Structure 1
């Protein structure tokens, strides 16, 4: 949703050579601000005959946010600028769009005799839940990948991704140079890499201070604790991998999510999914993610294979981080893979709905193939639904039961007489049961 505000300002000749501010109110829940302005710039005719072209008015543009911070300036060279948290016009800082009083900086550099009217058009784009596709685990030439950061971003766009994290091994020195644009949000990360396990620290430029290595469990616990205190999302990578699994013990450290799917689906990923399901049945809420662990293009491995899909409120990093932490999404085998949306009484996957008899749980699927098997899984049961044909969209409605959660897997058989494999694994919709009201 968008709204537009127009402000007209008359500038007298006496204000020539001065700066002043034009305040405007920014409403809540805005993801992007576009500002356009117009005024008579050129004198081109006299008595209907082209005589001379020269600038008769020159008015500079700048911006101040709700905290009184200078956001940027573009002189009079452009008549349209835009601001967001993930990317802004050249010359303007990326910044969160806070509710409150902002201000346009007006530079009255040159004003014609008699003054000039300037019209500012301010457009607000509001946040709304959208499905974003991305990769949380990608390496570049900054560690042991074979593509530059710029090349990785290029191929991520080609793959149809909306966001990506750069997670080089124990290296964050390139993170302050990452740039997003209107097509993709590029965010900082590091894969903390140790002989006893790998951990992604996502969302901040410098997740740890000093050297990266640790030699004891206590030092490892402190390293992860500091990263989380700094604001990083801590994700345990490929914990059941036979070569580089997490040998510190998943019960011995604090983390925000688990990478249950690393590159092509394999036995260690299936083992991780089984472990995760067991933890859910114990009452734990552990968000899941997937990552390609991309180093170079090879059979079965590429950027966005698998893809972590998030129901985020915008493409801004803070909204993406929030969606990851809450588990508001699912992992699918590739960007064009199947999708799922789970909703009950306004709560979606990753959130919690309070149990009440009569409520309905809605499962919305898309991009299903003939013979795909949908598994609707709770702590008590697993129901299988087979697709008889290719399905563009399917909606399944079920009565909300007294269970701990609902989650979904979609399995697909690629070769006859060969076991089917997951092509989608969702985070759960959790159910809160008030025992007093259910007796």
Structure 2
């Protein structure tokens, strides 16, 4: 498998971000990313998809306005907003064979920022979406802000302090939906980087070095940008990915699979239950942290180690969380044992 590190849910000058697509690509390249997914609000600049100095820039769109924000990747035509009936938007993305991700579903907002504005997802009768953004950097930063003094202090001295891990409500929804069908989870930065004078607030550089997604592919990315986009999106659709908060440590080199002593089944896989299954977890560079193996959303194993091997005695949906004390680090997508 090949591993590619990227940032999903990014805004540019094409909507309400502060940097051009070209500037964003340059900053992402310096941050060591392999790809970036730009999802400007109801913007359809697909022609800008391409390689920029070796970095793959994928142009998508964040659909809808007042609520039910939906990230669309891999589409090729404009899609009209429909905030009151998001199923129509989901269906249109599906008709274009794109990938659709429910954005910041449990966003609450803060009375001291943006007049308390929030953009939650409230209609859970919908179907056909591919993924859920269970962790949104800017939404969490906003939700955790209690007053203007605290916001200013954090921006100047500790910009990552409000970031405490995936949204618990969103993760619970992800685990529940996973019981019925395959769905993948992502972490999004939702970068806008507003400027106050010469200062960028929560800059592209800061967030590209903070919260990223790792996509696992079966082959190297092709040199053709559209073919490379297809490889990345197909792997996302299959749930072959994990995401990480990388302020302390990069997450490249993390491994999680289930083995029957003959074959191995990686993140995103389906396999039939049989005897002698075991879950294998390896942390990058043999770093020691708290490893949690989750089955159907509940912890079944916990250890402070650099690696773990755990017997899989039951059918279920398995994923891994890695924490350093109270600090979040790595979160895998599911392996399905049927």
- TM-score, structure 2 as length reference: 0.77
Q: Is the 8 A contact 2:104 2:121 kept in 1?
A: no
- 1:266 Cα deviation after fit: 4.7
1:200 to 58, 61, 71: 71
Q: Return closer, same or farther for 1:267/1:385 CA change in 2, 3 Å cut-off.
A: closer
Question: Which residue of 2 is the match for residue 409 of structure 1?
Answer: 321
1:400 to 285, 304, 312: 312
Mapped pair 1:430 → 2:336: yes
1:342 to 233, 236, 256: 256
Cα shift readout 1:308-363 (whole Å, capped 9, x = no counterpart): 10111232221111110011111101385235322222321111121110133322
Mapped pair 1:216 → 2:90: no
Q: Is the 8 A contact 1:291 1:304 kept in 2?
A: no
Q: Return closer, same or farther for 1:152/1:350 CA change in 2, 3 Å cut-off.
A: same
Aligned pair count reads 284
C-alpha separation between the residues in 2 aligned to 1:256 and 1:334? 25
Aligned CA RMSD, in angstroms, stands at 2.3
- 1:367 Cα deviation after fit: 4.5
C-alpha separation between the residues in 2 aligned to 1:259 and 1:395? 27
2:36 to 138, 141, 164: 164
The residue matched to 2:183 in structure 1 has which SS? coil
The residue matched to 2:275 in structure 1 has which SS? coil
Mapped pair 1:152 → 2:55: no
Q: Is the 8 A contact 2:12 2:24 kept in 1?
A: yes
* Greater relative contact order, per chain length (Cα 8 Å cut-off, separation 6+): 2
C-alpha separation between the residues in 2 aligned to 1:323 and 1:289? 12
- 1:205 Cα deviation after fit: 3.8
C-alpha separation between the residues in 2 aligned to 1:362 and 1:130? 18
Give the structure with the larger helix fraction. Answer: 2
Q: Return closer, same or farther for 1:195/1:187 CA change in 2, 3 Å cut-off.
A: same
Question: Which residue of 1 is the match for residue 95 of structure 2?
Answer: 229
Where do 1:74-85 residues align within 5 Å? none
Question: Which residue of 2 is the match for residue 272 of structure 1?
Answer: 170
Question: Which residue of 1 is the match for residue 8 of structure 2?
Answer: 136
Q: Return closer, same or farther for 1:181/1:194 CA change in 2, 3 Å cut-off.
A: closer
Q: Is the 8 A contact 1:188 1:205 kept in 2?
A: no
Q: Return closer, same or farther for 1:322/1:230 CA change in 2, 3 Å cut-off.
A: same
2:191 to 291, 294, 306: 294
The answer for unaligned runs of 5 or more in structure 2 is: 110-117, 141-162, 194-199, 222-227
1:378 to 278, 292, 295: 295
Q: Is the 8 A contact 2:242 2:331 kept in 1?
A: yes
Mapped pair 1:362 → 2:268: no
1:305 to 188, 201, 210: 210
Where do 1:10-49 residues align within 5 Å? none
Question: Which residue of 2 is the match for residue 4 of structure 1?
Answer: none
Q: Return closer, same or farther for 1:215/1:251 CA change in 2, 3 Å cut-off.
A: closer
- 1:228 Cα deviation after fit: 1.3
Q: Return closer, same or farther for 1:368/1:169 CA change in 2, 3 Å cut-off.
A: farther
Question: Which residue of 2 is the match for residue 69 of structure 1?
Answer: none
The residue matched to 1:302 in structure 2 has which SS? helix
The residue matched to 1:397 in structure 2 has which SS? strand
C-alpha separation between the residues in 2 aligned to 1:381 and 1:332? 19
- TM-score, structure 1 as length reference: 0.60
Q: Is the 8 A contact 2:25 2:52 kept in 1?
A: no
C-alpha separation between the residues in 2 aligned to 1:288 and 1:178? 23
Q: Which has the larger radius of gyration?
A: 1
Question: Which residue of 1 is the match for residue 181 of structure 2?
Answer: 284
Q: Return closer, same or farther for 1:190/1:304 CA change in 2, 3 Å cut-off.
A: farther
C-alpha separation between the residues in 1 aligned to 2:311 and 2:78? 44
